[in-house]
């Protein structure tokens, strides 16, 4: 006599459902690729905001010219996209950045600006309402 537990039956039902939906999963992988898209944030400034931020930056190697930064940013974003990343341009206001740096007792350095951008990107991804 064969005895099935409730969990044994559930495993068989789950396996059957997976088998039934396997063609849809394969089609989805073909159309959308594996997994969810990788998202990256990149700081985005207008000329005035960049110049304000650059004046308060503690980085010695920082690009001081907006035109240099913009050219570098466009190339970097293009490269990131070519490597399969979905890049979100995170608009930065220098006053907001400087307030966040003060609140977190941080200097205006590249690594701290990256943390700020990550924080803003996470806020957007958690609630993307406009």
- pLDDT exceeding 70 applies to what percent of the chain? 88
Helix segments in 2-128, DSSP class H: 6-32, 47-56, 66-82, 94-103, 110-126
Instruction: Say whether pLDDT at 54 is over 90.
Output: no
Instruction: Say whether pLDDT at 1 is over 60.
Output: no
Q: How far is CA 58 from CA 13, 38, 52, in A?
A: 61, 30, 12
Lookup: tokens for 4: 């099935």
Mean pLDDT of 33-50: 85
Burial class of 32 by CB neighbour count within 10 A (0 to 12, 13 to 18, 19+): exposed
pTM: 0.67
pLDDT by residue (tens digit) across 80-127? 999 888 899 999 999 999 999 999 999 999 999 999 999 999 888 888
């Amino acid at each position: 006599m064969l005895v099935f537990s409730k969990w044994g039956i559930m495993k068989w039902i789950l396996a059957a459902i997976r088998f039934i939906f396997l063609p849809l999963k394969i089609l989805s992988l073909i159309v959308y690729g594996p997994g969810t898209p990788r998202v990256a944030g990149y700081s985005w400034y207008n000329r005035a905001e960049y110049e304000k931020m650059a004046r308060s930056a503690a980085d010695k190697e920082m690009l001081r010219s907006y035109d240099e930064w913009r050219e570098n940013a466009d190339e970097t974003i293009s490269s990131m996209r070519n490597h399969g990343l979905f890049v979100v341009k995170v608009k930065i206001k220098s006053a907001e950045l400087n307030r966040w740096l003060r609140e977190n007792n941080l200097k205006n350095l590249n690594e701290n600006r990256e943390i700020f951008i990550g924080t803003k990107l996470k806020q957007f991804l958690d609630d993307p309402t406009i």
